[in-house]
Amino acid sequence: MEHCYHHEPVAMLAQMLISILGFVLFSAYALRHSQPFRLGQVTLKELAHDLDLALEQELRWELWFASG
């Protein structure tokens, strides 16, 4: 949030709204779907790091598109 990527007022507002939306969605995910967070076993920072690592793993696409 320290760097302004665009200097147009509308672009700055859009960037802020997208950041707020991302924060709200991540918080909702943590509260609704993360039992370790609800039980106090992990922090939001640890949960974000785990999600980041999960995004870097190779996906097995046949599992997504397999009929069955």
Distance CA 10, CA 19 (A): 14
Per-residue H/E/C for 5-35: CCCCHHHHHHHHHHHHHHHHHHHHHHHHHCH
Residues 6+ away with beta carbon under 8 Å from 18: none
Q: What's phi and psi for 28, nearest 5 deg?
A: -65, -40
pTM: 0.60
- pLDDT value at residue 68: 52
Structure tokens at 46: 């640890």
- pLDDT value at residue 21: 94
Structure tokens at 39: 């039980």
The mean pLDDT values, 10 residues at a time, for the chain of 68 residues are 76 90 90 85 88 80 64
